[in-house]
Amino acid sequence: MKTRLIDWPTFIGAFILLLGVTIPLIAFPEAGKVIVADANEFMTNNFGVLYMIMGLVIFAFLIYVAFSKNGSIKLGDEGEKPEFNTFSWAAMLFAAGIGSSILYWAVIEWAYYYQGPPFGIEPSSKEAIQWASAYGIFHWGPIAWAIYTLPALPIAYFYYVRKKPVLKVSEAVRPVLGKSVDGPLGNVIDILFMFGLLGGAGTTLALGTPMIAEGINSLTGIPANLGMKSAIMLLCTLIFAISSYSGLKRGIKVLSDVNLWLSIFILVFIFIFGPTRFIAETTFNSLGILTDNFFKMATWMEPFGNLSQFEETKFPESWTIFYWAWWLVYAPFVGLFVARISRGRTIRQMVLGTMIYGTLGCILFFGIMGNFGLYMQLTGSFDVIAFMDENGAPATIIEIINQLPLAKFMVLAFTVLAIIFLATTFDSSSYILASVVQKKVEGEPLRWNRLFWAFSLCIMPLALMFLGGLDTLQTASIVGGFPLIFIMFLLAWSFMKASNTDIRASDDYEPSTIHIERWKKKGKKKKKRSALEALEDKPEDDER
Ligand code: NM2
């Protein structure tokens, strides 16, 4: 066991923090629930608006970067072609950023908005229907994907322009914080990131497991109890633990491909054999509502709350803020991944591509799966809301899929897809967690280290499952991810600082370390040299 590769302060710090939160929750579930709920109240009531501001600012910042000179910088050498074609790139990007939660929420999210709409709208009214269908797309739309993209900026920049492999968040903020990232500050940043990701992944697993359990229940009749859920969680861990332990990179590649094609199959099937016209029209209609109300939705804080004649709904806290927090805790991890696959693209292509393709993918899931359920509710062919009141969301999701032709087969396909989605989330999260606690990663993080984090990932959701209740799950992300708001700011700053320095330098020195690719690829042709050679020519500059 090579232990000298491990960055022990980060490793132990993150693990202690994880245990420190989880053990009390398991030991004192009732008291834990109350404390967690209080923490949630405190955070969202007082700092909710920070999350909303963060979402809009990141969105505006990325649009600015995309169209600025910095956006024209090529992630790689001059003339280099993108490493992956755009379809594979978009598919990988989506698979990395999205897990089984999309199956859960795409199918059922509308039902919550229908019963508890924002803007003081009458619950279950005609107006509520419109928003029910549009709001899911907003919460999985351009702002959400912008949050994902931001960390990719500095990371991709250091990887492919400055040719310095960065596998840690602390490393990516070096241009701003300088040498202090080598000390405790760097450890704290990495620990916060790890804790946030553990919370975010915990939410994913704790949502996905009951849904899979209901799927299995519907297929076999075995009751979806706590034992079955624990078994599923362990099974998912085992699936990918085996594949990652044996170093089967191809295994994961196969899982991701199956994931993609199975998703396409289920979506096409529902679209064709479900209410095709209703789905097409309602989805299209939602896009209009979304465009029209983008800023209204992005800033809706229910400001008058219980002071107005409307009943206070806590809509922003329960949904938009929760979502931004959830995307936030996953963001550095997805950023690392997006950066890795974006070689040969310009910053602009990476930014706009992530935001556009990511959003399009989510529109497909929400438009097709969500509107299928909504249609049944509105036509009365299946009373989704009544069923949900009685049986809870996970069983309702499976029951909606059960209404399709070839019901059993479709439930099987849906359940298998959810399991694969979960296993791949486990796999990539544990990979990143293990990488962050190593000083150096040679090819892959150490196996035992990877397995260790894989099983640690299990602890939190297990605890949350015993606690029960969605509110508790949401809190884990919100509280765990809060400090990341500031880290996002540092990441943006780092990117601007580094790229601006290089842009200025490239005006002064020839050849330059960066390649600016203009819109129409005009620009003067420079002698072909690798950026690495050029880098060696360049005068030393202390932050490099
Ligand atoms: N997000 C996209 O479970 C998952 O789908 C992972 C969740 C942040 C809401 C990501």
> DSSP letters along 94-106, please?
HHHH--THHHHHH
Give domain limits for the chain.
2-504
What integer pLDDT is reported at residue 528 of this predicted model? 47
Q: Whose CA is nearest to atom 2 of ligand 1?
A: 98
**Spacing, Cα 287 to ligand 1 middle (Å):** 21
Residues 6+ apart with CB under 8 A from 245: 447, 450, 451
DSSP 8-state assignment for residue 243: H
Phi, psi of 162 (to 5 degrees): -90, -5
How far is 169 from 192, CA to CA, in rounded Å?
10
What integer pLDDT is reported at residue 389 of this predicted model? 93
- Long-range interactions of 314-320: CB distance < 8 A, separation 24+: 315/116, 315/117, 315/118, 316/48, 316/52, 316/118, 317/44, 317/45, 317/48, 318/474, 319/112, 319/135, 319/139, 320/51, 320/52, 320/55, 320/139
What integer pLDDT is reported at residue 534 of this predicted model? 47
Amino acid at 349: Q
What integer pLDDT is reported at residue 310 of this predicted model? 64
User: Which pLDDT tens digit goes with each residue over 54-71?
Assistant: 999 999 999 999 999 999
Whether 136 is in the pocket of ligand 1, judged by its Cβ within 6 Å, is: no
Which of 94, 98, 337 has most ligand 1 atoms within 8 Å of CB, for mutation? 98
Q: How many CB atoms lie within 10 A of CB 281?
A: 12
Closest atom of ligand 1 to 98 CA is 5
What integer pLDDT is reported at residue 120 of this predicted model? 84
What integer pLDDT is reported at residue 348 of this predicted model? 95
Residues 6+ apart with CB under 8 A from 364: 267
Q: Are 18 and 459 in contact (CB under 8 A)?
A: yes
Asked if the 2-504 domain carries CATH number 1.20.1740, the reply is yes
Whether 102 is in the pocket of ligand 1, judged by its Cβ within 6 Å, is: yes
Q: Give the pTM.
A: 0.89
**Spacing, Cα 208 to ligand 1 middle (Å):** 11
What integer pLDDT is reported at residue 85 of this predicted model? 87
What integer pLDDT is reported at residue 385 of this predicted model? 94
Whether 98 is in the pocket of ligand 1, judged by its Cβ within 6 Å, is: yes
Tens of pLDDT, residue by residue, the chain (544 residues)? 567 788 899 999 988 888 887 777 777 777 877 887 788 778 877 888 999 999 999 999 999 999 999 999 999 888 888 888 888 888 888 888 898 899 999 999 999 999 999 888 888 899 999 999 999 999 999 999 999 999 999 999 998 888 887 778 898 999 999 888 888 999 999 998 888 888 888 788 878 888 999 999 999 999 988 888 888 888 877 877 776 666 555 666 677 788 889 999 999 999 999 999 999 999 999 999 999 999 999 998 877 766 666 677 788 878 999 899 889 999 998 998 888 889 999 999 999 999 999 999 999 999 999 999 999 999 999 999 999 999 999 999 999 999 999 999 999 999 999 988 888 777 788 888 888 898 877 777 888 888 888 888 877 677 667 666 445 555 665 677 888 999 999 999 999 999 998 888 877 765 566 777 765 544 444 444 544 454 454 444 444 3
Q: Are 149 and 354 in contact (CB under 8 A)?
A: yes
**Spacing, Cα 350 to ligand 1 middle (Å):** 20
